[in-house]
Amino acid sequence: PVSAMDIRKVQKVWSTIKSGGEIKVKITENLDELRNDEMVIAVGSERTVQYVYQTKSEMIQNYFKIVDEANSQLIALLNKQTIANSEHFPIYAFSSICPELENTETYRKRQLDKIIDNISRIKACKSEAVSIDEILKETKEYKVANTIMYCVLNDTISLKQLRDYLTTPGHKIDTQYRRLLCLYDYLSY
């Protein structure tokens, strides 16, 4: 049920919008936190009015789409989330697209430290492979990610090949995928 007070609030917001009032965008998870002067009314079809929120995992899953579209408003949602010390998160591209992103230096250092820490492990996966398909055919599954990292860092596999591999449908977004994505992100941006 809609109360008379709710209708008056909507009428007030609508008249402000029609009169050319100041237009702002505010992102909030809780509508009750908004003051009356921050309320918004959306008018349009379902195709034109959208509310989009993505978790960190969804952002990793949609990394290439977000970066290709340079979607800074979506990236800014990271300011409402916390990236844990143990997480592999590709921050370089996001921070270059969205300068308003907070804690970027901390996150960048953390991402680089994780890549450097991994270098000692990937030496055991030394390979002369020149394609990811070759690695997939010749390498045991548990060594695939480290072998790809080794080959990318030694320039036998290009970043384009790595991107093609990462954008292939059907990947499980696990730690190995995140590590490869972080390497791609760091080397590309």
- Using one digit for the tens of pLDDT, what is the confidence trace for 128-163? 999 999 999 999 999 999 999 999 999 999 999 999
Q: Is residue 47 part of a domain?
A: no
| Shared-domain flag, residues 62 and 130 | yes
Q: Is residue 93 part of a domain?
A: yes
pLDDT at 89: 97
| Shared-domain flag, residues 21 and 111 | no
For the segment 67-124, what is each residue's pLDDT rounded down to a tens digit? 999 999 899 999 999 999 999 999 999 999 999 999 999 999 999 999 999 998 898 9
Q: Is residue 88 part of a domain?
A: yes
Instruction: Measure the CA–CA gap between 132 and 65, rounded to whole angstroms.
Output: 22
Q: Is residue 81 part of a domain?
A: yes
pLDDT bucket at 14, cuts 50 / 70 / 90: confident
Q: Is residue 51 part of a domain?
A: no
| Shared-domain flag, residues 145 and 183 | yes
Number of independent structural domains in the chain: 2
| Shared-domain flag, residues 126 and 173 | yes
pLDDT: which is higher, 40 or 66: 66
Q: Is residue 122 part of a domain?
A: yes
pLDDT at 172: 87
For 121, residues 6+ apart whose C-beta sits below 8 A from its C-beta are 146
| Shared-domain flag, residues 134 and 169 | yes
| Shared-domain flag, residues 80 and 130 | yes
| Shared-domain flag, residues 136 and 181 | yes
Does residue 23 come out as left (phi exceeding 0), alpha (psi in the -120 to 50 range) or beta? Answer: beta
DSSP state at residue 174:
S
For the segment 16-60, what is each residue's pLDDT rounded down to a tens digit? 767 765 656 555 656 566 665 555 556 555 566 555 678 999 999
Angle at 78 between CA 74 and CA 35, to 5 degrees: 80
Q: Is residue 46 part of a domain?
A: no
pLDDT: which is higher, 171 or 164: 164
Q: Is residue 50 part of a domain?
A: no
Q: Which domain holds residue 21?
A: 4-38
Instruction: Measure the CA–CA gap between 146 and 131, rounded to whole angstroms.
Output: 14
- In degrees rounded to 5, what are phi and psi of residue 70? 50, 50
| Shared-domain flag, residues 9 and 76 | no
pLDDT at 163: 98
Q: Is 43 exposed, middle or buried (0-12, 13-18, 19+ CB in 10 A)?
A: exposed
| Shared-domain flag, residues 28 and 79 | no
pLDDT at 83: 94
| Shared-domain flag, residues 147 and 85 | yes
| Shared-domain flag, residues 181 and 106 | yes
